[in-house]
Amino acid sequence: MSRRDIGSKIDHTRLSLDIRLEEVLEEYRACCRLGIRGFVTHPWVVARLSDIVNRCGTMLIGVVSFPYGMDSLEAKLRTIDYLFSSGADEVDVVSNVNLLLNGLYKEYLDEVVGLVSYVKDSWGRGIKIIVEVSILNERLLEEAVEAINRAGPDFFKTSTGKGPRGTTVEDVLAIRRMLSPDIGIKASGGIRDCKAAITLLDAGADIIGSSSGIAIVKECMGIGDEGREA
The residues assigned a catalytic role are 92, 157, 186
Nearest to 186 by CA among 172, 174, 169, 202: 172
On whether the CB atoms of residues 49 and 24 are closer than 8 A, the answer is yes
In the 3-class helix/strand/coil scheme, how is 55-86 assigned residue by residue? CCCCEEEEEECCCCCCCCHHHHHHHHHHHHHC
Q: Which amino acid is at 138?
A: E
On whether the CB atoms of residues 10 and 36 are closer than 8 A, the answer is yes
Contacts of 87 by beta carbon, 8 Å cutoff, 6+ apart: 46, 47, 49, 50, 51, 60
On whether the CB atoms of residues 12 and 210 are closer than 8 A, the answer is yes
